[in-house]
Amino acid sequence: MTTRELIVAHVLMGGIVAVVLFVLCAALWVVA
């Protein structure tokens, strides 16, 4: 893999994790 591909992979993974955490927090806030 090239450096560019590694950067893209890290950004995508980070974005997915951020979205999951945001959805979990939103769900907990709605329930509470």
pTM of the predicted model, to two decimals?
A: 0.61
The confidence score (pLDDT) of residue 29 equals 96
The confidence score (pLDDT) of residue 21 equals 98
Give φ, ψ of 2 to 5 degrees.
Answer: -85, 170
Question: From CA 15, how far away is CA 25, in angstroms rounded?
Answer: 15
Q: Give residue 22's pLDDT band: very low, low, confident or very high (50, 70, 90).
A: very high
The confidence score (pLDDT) of residue 18 equals 97
The confidence score (pLDDT) of residue 32 equals 84
1: pLDDT strictly greater than 80: no
